[in-house]
Amino acid sequence: MIFLKLILTNLRRHRIRSFISVAGIAFSVAAMLTVVTILQGAIGMFSGILSSDSEIIVFERNVSDLFFSNVPAAAVNEIASWPMVLHADPVLFGVVSSADHPIITCFGVTAGDARIRKATWIAGDRRTFAQHADDVVLGERAAEFLGAQMGSHVPIGHGVFHVIGILKTANGFEDGGVFMPLSSAQSFFHKDGMSSVITVKLRNRDDATSFKNAVKTKYASLIALEDAEFNHSYSQFRILKATAWAVGGCGLILGGLGVANTMIMSVFTRIREIAILRVNGFSSMQIAAMIFGESAVVSLLGAVLGLLTGTCLLLILKLVPALHGYVDVTIQPVVMLIVVLLALITGIAGALYPAIYAMRIRAVEALRFE
């Protein structure tokens, strides 16, 4: 109890300094939580597009980005005809811009595609999809920001398209996207006869290995991966995840430097007090434990405050109309745990030098210290 009080007393003694340290950790934690959650949400959404009513994705081997993947129509047709395949849907991804909107994702799909089939059609009829080359279906949010309604004509990229439907999906990318007939998308993006990926649903999931081997044997330039494998190995996802953790990590390092500064000041301003504790029997390890205890309290308070701030920030971002559907505020417990652990480790690392310094204080000299 006294030990805890010694820890808390010092933090209370310099409230502003302690608060700044707590705030430093809190902002770092909030930044890490927000960035990681947003990027993981984005990854989740993108992988959700790919795994829509499918369990395997086929794309061009060794491409770093699916937008650059080219899968020939012949492969699509042949794979779709394999007995083990229930359905194989080609999807062509493209990105265009329009006035005020630098990035609009386009999906070139067939009429039977799961994205078209399973979405809620707010306006229009699914059966009319892909009947004319300039027909498009907009996601609800895309319709909103393009100011488009059912039947209107909207400029997208270098073309003008006729809106024949508006659909609502839970996926932010899809909700903010444009669905074109596959052939129109191939023409629009100058990829005649190509798709970016084939999403495949097997009759029997146990055939996944056989399917992957068959693709490997038949098409040396293509690769088939199960959804989980793809999520784990896709370089864009890995880059995004690494970026998220790196950004957060940099924040935490800054927070850790704040803690280190606080703890150094804390030790320097109470050298005499530490000497008194030493004279009264505190071992050097107990002194170190006290310093680490202080930094742990700062880090924990910072982590809690950071988690609250980060969560609030994510909720606010979710309310921003422009980001609607793009921000997934579901904070994964494992992310929370890692962030808190990193904050603690940062705090403890920040207290390392001050603790060593405190352990080495010579009581006899320190008692003369004013």
Least Cα distance to 292 among 3, 79, 33 occurs for 3
In the list 134, 273, 324, 349, the residue contacting other proteins (rule: CB under 8 A) is: 273
Size of residue set near other proteins by CB under 8 A: 24
Contact window for other proteins (CB under 8 A) among 50-58, 148-156, 274-282, 340-348: 274-282
CA distance 345 to 268: 22
Two structure tokens written together for 49: 């597009």
Q: What angle do CA 306, 309, 315 make, to 5 degrees?
A: 140
For residue 52, give the DSSP letter.
Answer: T
What burial class does residue 252 get, using C-beta atoms within 10 Å of its C-beta: 0-12 exposed, 13-18 middle, 19+ buried?
A: buried
Write 366-369 long-range contacts (CB < 8 A, 24+): 366/271, 366/272, 366/274, 366/275, 366/278, 367/272, 367/275, 367/276, 367/279, 369/271, 369/272, 369/275
Contact window for other proteins (CB under 8 A) among 92-100, 280-288, 295-303, 331-339: 280-288
Contact window for other proteins (CB under 8 A) among 16-24, 225-233, 256-264, 277-285: 277-285
Two structure tokens written together for 11: 């933090």
For residue 307, give the DSSP letter.
Answer: H
In degrees and rounded to multiples of 5, residue 113 shows phi and psi of -65, 145
- Quote the least distance from Cβ 280 to other proteins, whole Å: 5
In the list 286, 289, 323, 352, the residue contacting other proteins (rule: CB under 8 A) is: 286
In the list 153, 216, 238, 362, the residue contacting other proteins (rule: CB under 8 A) is: 362
Nearer to other proteins by Cβ, of 65 and 365: the residue is 365
Two structure tokens written together for 229: 């494998």
- Quote the least distance from Cβ 352 to other proteins, whole Å: 20
356 lines the binding site for other proteins (CB under 8 A): no
- Quote the least distance from Cβ 364 to other proteins, whole Å: 4
Contact window for other proteins (CB under 8 A) among 27-35, 38-46, 191-199, 281-289: 281-289
Q: Collect all residues with Cβ–Cβ distance below 8 Å to 262 and sequence separation of at least 6.
A: 14, 17, 18, 20, 21, 295, 298, 350
Two structure tokens written together for 335: 């992310």
284 lines the binding site for other proteins (CB under 8 A): yes
Contact window for other proteins (CB under 8 A) among 44-52, 151-159, 269-277, 298-306: 269-277
In the list 31, 278, 339, 347, the residue contacting other proteins (rule: CB under 8 A) is: 278
- Quote the least distance from Cβ 300 to other proteins, whole Å: 22
- Quote the least distance from Cβ 348 to other proteins, whole Å: 22
333 lines the binding site for other proteins (CB under 8 A): no
Residues forming the site for other proteins (CB under 8 A): 1-3, 5-6, 9, 12-13, 272-273, 276-284, 286, 362-364, 367
